[in-house]
Chains A and B, each alone.
Chain A
Amino acid sequence: DGGITQSPKYLFRKEGQNVTLSCEQNLNHDAMYWYRQDPGQGLRLIYYSQIVNDFQKGDIAEGYSVSREKKESFPLTVTSAQKNPTAFYLCASSPQAYSYNEQFFGPGTRLTVL
């Protein structure tokens, strides 16, 4: 059963903690993306990766970090430097690197800061 999985579905973070959101895909897609969505808003790009061991900052990368050690995995770390991390986090993938492919989304992780 191919698709994109994100875990956990819900995550609670205390002030000052770093947390890591998981994103895995078994679609053999080259490119992967992380977005953030705030209530009533569109999606904003945090980081994206076209190939393994390479990634680029999106529009709101401050306070976040990523790695792309494997093609199928693109974890996102929300660091304590991110001052307003409560949001819905969406991971996406697309078939080909450096192309105008459509992006497919995982189910998302809701992060809440306590």
Chain B
Amino acid sequence: QKEVEQNSGPLSVPEGAIASLNCTYSDRGSQSFFWYRQYSGKSPELIMFIYSNGDKEDGRFTAQLNKASQYVSLLIRDSQPSDSATYLCAVDADAGGTSYGKLTFGQGTILTVHP
């Protein structure tokens, strides 16, 4: 059973701070990694994806991937109250199998940004 684990949270940060969300995965063959944001009562919204080791930046968001450590993280700089949501990490299945397109989701981390 492929597993994706996220830091349990909830995570509370002050406005303007850096929020750090972490995710580990069990399948060493995984190649694609996604971060989704989900507001309460709404569907998930894709905010970042990363395929290669290292950092990928998009505005206030930075995704970091370390395949050797099987670890992916999301940093949110200058956190705003509007960033308060549940953040879901998702990992694609091993390409060596027949699971193209399947994603395994973590349980999510609730982030609260307080003014």
Chain A contact residues, CB within 8 Å of chain B: 31, 33, 35, 40-45, 48, 50, 58, 90, 94, 97-108
Contacts and interface: CB of A to CB of B under 8 A. Distances in A.
28 contacts: A33-B103, A35-B105, A40-B108, A41-B107, A42-B88, A42-B105, A42-B107, A43-B88, A43-B90, A43-B103, A44-B105, A45-B102, A48-B102, A50-B100, A97-B100, A98-B100, A99-B101, A100-B92, A100-B100, A101-B101, A102-B34, A102-B49, A103-B34, A105-B36, A105-B43, A105-B45, A107-B42, A108-B42
Interface in B73-107: 88, 90, 92, 95, 100-107
Interface of B: 4, 31-32, 34, 36, 42-46, 49, 51, 88, 90, 92, 95, 100-108
Residue of A45, A97, A106 contacting most chain B CB atoms (<10 Å)? A45
Contacts, number: 63
B102 A102 contact: no
Nearest to B105: A42
Contacts of A90: 43-44
Contacts of A101: 101
A68 B86 CA distance: 31
B96 to A, nearest CB: 13
A87 B43 CA distance: 13
A45 to B, nearest CB: 6
A40 B110 CA distance: 9
